[in-house]
Structure 1
Amino acid sequence: MARISALLSLLLLFMTMTTASVERENKSSSAGLFWSTAKEEGDLSHNTGHADDSTAAAADDIDGGFSSLEGMLQWAIGHSDPVKLKEKAQDAQRLSPSELRQRQLEIKELMEKLKMPSDAQLMQIALDDLRNSSLSLEDRHRALQELLILVEPIDNANDMCKLGGLGVIIRELDHSDSDVRKISAWILGKASQNNPYVQKQVLELGALATLMKMVNSSSVDEATKAFYAVSALIRNNVAGQQLFFEEAGDKMLQDILSSPSVDIRLRRKAVFLVGDLAECQLENIDKAEMPFFSNRLFLKSVVDLTASSDLDLQEKALVAIKSLLQLKTTEAMVFLEFCRLGEALERMKKQLEDLMLEDDHREYVTDVESLRREVELTFQAKLENVRAVPT
């Protein structure tokens, strides 16, 4: 704000240069700003009520700095008190031509300092920093945090690809510092989210295998961010899902789902991904189903989550089971006899009935029970289809 205040003062002085010159030639007795109409001055008075929003307004109005001195001047006028503007103009009248020219140079210099670089330029600066092997760990964290924010918009993520940024970030996945690895994985996940262009680039650069290894990290934060990146890479991406399977992704998921010692956040993400993959398969019926969908040990690891004490995990498991039941390659009798889905659903029903007696979460529990019932009906329909087939 101090820089903007200084700029405003200089701008007002510069603006009055032309006015002062003309007025002197015409020997006019008036001094101050040259308002074209009374209405414009009235508008300025009205705008002074928004002075507190000046910084935000300036950020909204420009992209990469003010496009011109005139644009900066208009912004300055629109966020100023007209009385103070006239006072500044009167001060300018007392300056000599050489002093006014000096003020003009100061304005131009300050404009250059205030110019905000574009997002692409900011990303380039951060990437150049990361390419510097002697960069301090603190500055490396800072550069990564900046990129984490910048890659959120899909256009920025695409621009980072064009700047060669993906390779830079992927190299950071092997850094000795856990936070560097974590934030790097997070950046790749954000950039890949619902972005086929970035997904393709990251997969071709071989990052998926590295990220999958990071899921086994002893750092929960690193593991969850790596899993987030894996999910973002393969979601709605058939080629990515095939590569995920080739890298034993099904075993990774099964290990997470079947191990109570794994952090609950990671287990939730894992079962959510299972449901998402099954849903994606249902939407691409012309594509061959992934073999692990029919693996009975894998299916049992999902069904067993319905016995968890975490209701959120149970709900996500139900969503996954509902989609798995609709796949062609999953067998109803495997769900019935090996996974014991019927017993699991009945046990869950009793648990939910008890929870409904509590006021705190009744509405949520009711929603989960409704989902449980949908799964039960889908399961019964699958069993009936099997029994209807003549032997």
Structure 2
Amino acid sequence: MGGRSVVLLNILLIVVAVSAGEAEEEPVNKSTLGLWENNNEDELDGGFPSLDGILHWAIGHSDPAKLQQQAQQHLSTQDDHILQKRQTEIKEVVEKLEEEMPSDSKLMQLAIHDLKNNNNNNLEDALHQLLILVEAIHNANNLHNMGGLSLVIAQLNNSDHTIRTTSAWVVGKAAQNNPLVQNQVLQLGALPKLMLMVKSSFIEEAIKALYAVSAVVRNNDKGIELFYSQGGDIMIQGILSNTTADVRLHRRLVSLIADLAEYQLVYNSNLELPFLNNCALVKVLFDLTTSDDLDLQEKVLLAVKNLLMLESTELLVLDGFCGLKGALERMRLQLQQLIREENDNEYAIDVDGLCKEVNLIYLEKLTKTRGLNNISVSQVPT
């Protein structure tokens, strides 16, 4: 039977069903009864010459509204069945994939196994695998228990600078905002090595090492104390005063200064960091305000803002905070020129607003420190 005949039969079944329902309520039409009594075998379906004939008769003796309703119900039932079948198939495929997909723990074990073999051909892939996995805090917490953290730290001494770079990156990623891993890294003695790597001639190695140093010492008393005892202040001033250093190093170091100052402000830490109220450090920061890099300028302002709020910087404030007023004025002139040249650069406008805020904080602290509220001080630049 052809495709057209199948379609007609499906429609016919619905129509006849509706017609049959109507027949129970209506008297029999004898004029049509004879059509069904014809037993001529040469004619199809009791006297109708074709399926078309049956269809025409059925449609003529049915209610169109009921016919449409029955057809929709029939199609809806078929659609629901197909949908349920496909949903079941998809669920089975997903469950199978989940069974076959290795867990994070298994992937970490494989990566750690490659680190143990110490084969440089596989080390880079293994480290990148761990770099992705330790973004999840539970994986970072398990890294040391699985023997992976000490192996990663060991690779900080690898002769290949790319391996050292990725290893430092993994350490920083695992330790970021994670006190447990921070303390583990400190116990394994990795911080001095990372600080040494910050001075590397390979710029990516230096950047990733500084990233790790910042992650390990952030909001961690032991880490900050060790950082300072290992000459962290000298490292900071040395790199910031190097005008040829990569701007990414400058940005991260300035952010580190801001973090160290903020830690003392937020946690009321008794840990003293004399270099934070050292005029030499502040002047190095001010020198960076001449940079064309807006991101760096913003970070400098945030660092200066935090330093101004420290009680230990009161003497610096009384002494003009190492030339802060002049530095802010130069920065504002530079920002306003940039705003004019770049049609109201929104980022420059935001940095300019921060510049005004820092100046206001300075003036307020100067008044408070002098203890003379009636002393006339210069107004905030407009």
The 3 A distance-change label for structure 1 pair 46 and 117 is closer
Q: How far has the Cα of 1:277 moved from its partner? A: 1.3
Q: How far has the Cα of 1:288 moved from its partner? A: 3.3
Please state if 1:363 is matched with 2:346: yes
2:83 counterpart (39, 43, 51) = 43
Q: Secondary structure at the match of 2:237?
A: helix
- 1:186-335 to structure 2, matched below 5 A, reads 186-333=169-316
Q: How far has the Cα of 1:145 moved from its partner? A: 1.1
Q: How far has the Cα of 1:38 moved from its partner? A: 7.4
Deviations 1:80-132 (A, max 9, x none): xxxxxxxxxxxxxxxxxxxxxxxxxxxxxxxxxxx222111211111111111
TM-score (norm 2): 0.72
Identify the residue that residue 152 of structure 1 maps to in structure 2.
135
- 1:9-48 to structure 2, matched below 5 A, reads 41-44=81-84, 47=87
2:115 counterpart (125, 130, 133) = 130
Q: How far has the Cα of 1:174 moved from its partner? A: 0.1
Where relative contact order (Cα < 8 A, 6+ residues apart) is larger, the structure is 1
8 A contact 1:335–1:341 mirrored in 2 = no
Q: How far has the Cα of 1:385 moved from its partner? A: 2.0
TM-score (norm 1): 0.71
Indicate the structure (1 or 2) with the bigger Cα radius of gyration: 2
Q: CA RMSD in A?
A: 2.6
CA–CA distance in structure 1, aligned partners of residues 367 and 143 of structure 2: 52
Q: How far has the Cα of 1:138 moved from its partner? A: 2.5
- 2:172 counterpart letter in structure 1: G
Deviates more, 1:171-180 or 1:239-248: 239-248
1:164 counterpart (142, 147, 150) = 147
Which stretches in structure 1 are left out of the alignment for 5+ residues?
Answer: 1-36, 67-114
Identity in percent: 47
Q: How far has the Cα of 1:152 moved from its partner? A: 0.9
Aligned length: 297
Deviations 1:239-274 (A, max 9, x none): 211111111111111112111111001100110111
Please state if 1:350 is matched with 2:333: yes
Please state if 1:377 is matched with 2:364: no
8 A contact 2:195–2:209 mirrored in 1 = yes
8 A contact 1:151–1:191 mirrored in 2 = yes
Identify the residue that residue 173 of structure 1 maps to in structure 2.
156
Identify the residue that residue 142 of structure 1 maps to in structure 2.
125
The 3 A distance-change label for structure 1 pair 161 and 337 is same
Q: How far has the Cα of 1:154 moved from its partner? A: 0.3
Which stretches in structure 2 are left out of the alignment for 5+ residues?
Answer: 1-76, 374-382
